Amino acid sequence: MTTIATTGRLLEPHDVGGGGAQEGPGVHHRPTLVHRRHFPGTSVQARLLSRSVRMTLRPVLSLWARASALPWPADLIDSVGNLLPPIDGTRCRPAQLPNCEGLWVEAPDVGSDRVVLYLHGGAFLCCGVRTHRRLVSRISAEAQAPVLMVDYRMLPAHSIDDAIDDSVDGYRALLAAGWRPEQIVIAGDSAGGYLSFMVPLRLRDEGLPAPAAVVALSPLTELDPGRKLAHPNADRCALLPVSAAAELFRLARNIEARKATDPGAQARMCPVDHDLRGMPRTLIQVGSDELLLPDAEVMAERLAEAGSECDLQIWEQQLHGFQSAADLLPESRRAITEIGLFIRHAVPDGQFDAGRPGDSFDS
């Protein structure tokens, strides 16, 4: 098992084994590649929001888990996004991908050194570019980069593979517009975090170059709910009940079985199950009480075991998807600042020739 640093630095060989343990000849310690940082402190606003969500949204998700076949108004959730405009001065323009639409989001005064491909969350069932454009506009401002959001196809009409295909099409669109792989950062939250890992894996399988980095916010990395059921956070998470995770797993499995053309096809491999060699450096942010904390921790460890660096940030008692609450929570604003710092470090200013690649704001 990979040793995880709690101080945010690489462990040196003498840090392993308590400093005094002796190993036999031929044993070599490899520094861990997980930079684990804990962000303590919970604001009054965060505690109040968490309590409100536990009393309102969590019961709704529990009800959905018991009756997912009912005609739930998933489209209505994305429509609510009309109440969440991007930050002032942001430019937005639609983009067309082969099988879905997208949205270019550009905060004021961004440069041309880097670009972000953003994949929204929503359990592959709901949400879209409207629900996430305010968050994405903040990320655009902090990262100093334009962002292409992908409004990928979702369950139950489509499979998770369709969502992966659409996300890869978004990456291909950036390459076709003139962006270099070394300028591209793939980011996503929750189910979009799942996609943010699956896209580089698909690119590798297709012989395409990897992006510069990945940013995953409270990522779903394992559909099977077993590990989540066994974790103490199964009861602590203010938003996501375990029953909802189990129902999502069942629903996705049934939809993929129905759409499968090969009756002998293997079960879906989730990000944690893949050979992760060659993955780019990754930032993972997750709340300490989230149902998806084990998904984040295991993914960070698997990345390190495969030789990829991972910054794992654990935010004390923050909600699933807390970054979207930046209008209310100081922790959310700080987390988005951290995202921007990571992206700008992954793709520094001035690395590439002057001149902006084609994007949605070209005439």
Can you read off the two tokens belonging to residue 102? 């997208």
Q: What is the pLDDT of residue 264?
A: 54
CA distance 230 to 61: 20
Say if strands 101-106 and 147-151 run parallel, antiparallel, or are unpaired.
Answer: antiparallel
Report yes or no on 210 lying in a domain. Answer: yes
Residue tagged active-site, from 106, 222, 290, 309: 290
Known catalytic residue: 256?
no
Q: In the predicted model, what is the mean pLDDT of the chain?
A: 85
For the chain, give the number of residues: 363
Dig out the tokens for 238 from the structure. Answer: 């203010």
> Would you call 290 a catalytic residue per the annotation?
yes
Please, are residues 85 and 340 in contact by the beta-carbon 8 Å criterion? no
Helices assigned H by DSSP within the chain: 44-66, 74-80, 129-143, 160-176, 191-205, 226-229, 233-236, 242-259, 293-305, 330-346
Phi, psi of 242 (to 5 degrees): -60, -35
User: What CATH number does the domain containing 235 carry?
Assistant: 3.40.50.1820
Assigned domain for 118 exists: yes
Residue of 132, 158, 231, 320 marked catalytic = 320
Among 190, 196, 308, 332, the active-site one is 190
Annotated catalytic residue 158 = no
Give the percent of the chain with pLDDT over 90.
Answer: 59
Instruction: Give a yes or no: residue 1 inside a domain.
Output: no
Least confident of 82-96, 290-304, 349-363: 349-363
pLDDT higher than 90, residue 209 = yes
pLDDT digits (tens, 9 = 90+) for 291-316: 999 999 999 999 999 999 999 999 99
Enclosing domain of residue 283: 32-67+76-259+272-345
Beta pairing, strands 281-287 & 115-119: unpaired
Torsion, Cα of 62, 123, 256, 283 (10° steps): -130
Q: What is the mean pLDDT of residues 208-213?
A: 96
DSSP for 260-310, written as a single string:
-S-TTPPPPPPGGGS--TTPPEEEEEEETT-TTHHHHHHHHHHHHHTT--E
Among 20-34, 110-124, 178-192, 323-337, name the one with the lowest average pLDDT.
Answer: 20-34
8 is a domain residue: no
Query: What pLDDT does residue 126 have?
Result: 84
Q: Taking Cα atoms as reference points, which of 127, 148, 23 lies closest to residue 82?
A: 127
Count of C-beta atoms within a 10 Å radius of residue 117 = 26
Return the closest-CA partner of residue 144 out of 342, 311, 304: 342
Q: Would 287 be classed as within a structural domain?
A: yes
Q: What is the pLDDT of residues 211-245, one digit of tens each?
A: 999 999 999 999 888 888 889 898 888 888 888 88
95-146 pLDDT per residue, tens: 999 999 999 999 999 988 999 999 999 888 888 888 899 999 999 999 999 9
Looking at the structure of the chain, the number of domains it has is: 1
Q: What is the pLDDT of residue 342?
A: 98
- pLDDT bucket at 5, cuts 50 / 70 / 90: very low
Q: Is 44 part of any domain?
A: yes
